[in-house]
Amino acid sequence: MGSVAPNVAELDGSKFNITRSTNLRDVPLPGSPEELSHSHCTDHMVTVKWTAAKGWETPEVKPYQNLSIPPTASVLHYATECFEGMKVYRGYDGKLRLFRPDCNGERLNSSSQRSSLPGFKYDEVKKLVAKLLQIDGPRWLPNPGSFLYIRPTVIGNGPHLGVQVPKEALLFIIAVPWPDFTKMKKDPEAEPRKGLRLYASSPDTIRAWPGGFGYAKLGANYGPSLQAHGKAQALGFDQILWLFGPDRQVTEAGASNFFIIWHNTEGKLELVTAPLENQLILPGVTRRSVLELVRERLSQNFVGKLAPLEAVERTLTIDDIEKASKEGRIVESFVSGTAYFITPVAMIQNENTDINTLGANGEPAGYAAQIKSWLEAIMYGKEEHDWAYTIENEEQ
Ligand X SMILES: *Cc1c(COP(=O)(O)O)cnc(C)c1O
Instruction: State the nearest-atom distance from the C-beta of 254 to ligand X, in Å.
Output: 7
Of 104, 214, 209, 110, nearest to 149 by C-alpha is 104
Q: Are 11 and 48 in contact (CB under 8 A)?
A: yes
Query: How many H-runs (helices) and E-runs (strands) does the chain carry?
Result: 8, 19
DSSP state at residue 389: E
Q: At what angle do helices 101-114 and 285-297 cross, to 10 degrees?
A: 140
Give the 3-state secondary structure of residue 166.
coil
Residue 282 in the binding site for ligand X (CB under 6 A): yes
Q: At what angle do helices 367-379 and 285-297 cross, to 10 degrees?
A: 110
Instruction: State the nearest-atom distance from the C-beta of 132 to ligand X, in Å.
Output: 19
Residue 59 in the binding site for ligand X (CB under 6 A): no
Q: Chain-centre distance of CA 150, in angstroms?
A: 10
Residue 85 in the binding site for ligand X (CB under 6 A): yes
Residue 126 in the binding site for ligand X (CB under 6 A): no
Instruction: State the nearest-atom distance from the C-beta of 252 to ligand X, in Å.
Output: 5
- Per CB under 6 A, the list member of 155, 271, 285, 342 interacting with ligand X is 285
Residue 257 in the binding site for ligand X (CB under 6 A): yes
Residue 371 in the binding site for ligand X (CB under 6 A): no
- Per CB under 6 A, the list member of 255, 271, 316, 347 interacting with ligand X is 255
Instruction: State the nearest-atom distance from the C-beta of 20 to ligand X, in Å.
Output: 31
The interface region with ligand X, picked from 89-97, 251-259, 265-273, 310-318 by CB under 6 A, is 251-259
| CA pair distance 209, 188, nearest whole angstrom | 43
Q: Chain-centre distance of CA 66, in angstroms?
A: 24
Residue 81 in the binding site for ligand X (CB under 6 A): no
Residue 252 in the binding site for ligand X (CB under 6 A): yes
- Per CB under 6 A, the list member of 109, 153, 256, 370 interacting with ligand X is 256
Residue 201 in the binding site for ligand X (CB under 6 A): no
Residue 278 in the binding site for ligand X (CB under 6 A): no
- Per CB under 6 A, the list member of 44, 217, 329, 372 interacting with ligand X is 217
For 173-184, letters b (16+ CB in 10 Å) and e give: bbbbbbbeeeee
Which is nearer to ligand X, 217 or 229 (by Cβ)? 217
The interface region with ligand X, picked from 88-96, 134-142, 253-261, 311-319 by CB under 6 A, is 253-261
10 Å Cβ neighbour count for 130? 22
Q: Are 311 and 299 in contact (CB under 8 A)?
A: yes
Residue 229 in the binding site for ligand X (CB under 6 A): no
Q: How far is CA 263 from CA 30, 128, 241, 374, in A?
A: 41, 45, 21, 24
Which is nearer to ligand X, 74 or 257 (by Cβ)? 257
- Which residues contact ligand X by CB under 6 A? 85, 217, 252, 255-257, 282, 284-287, 336-338
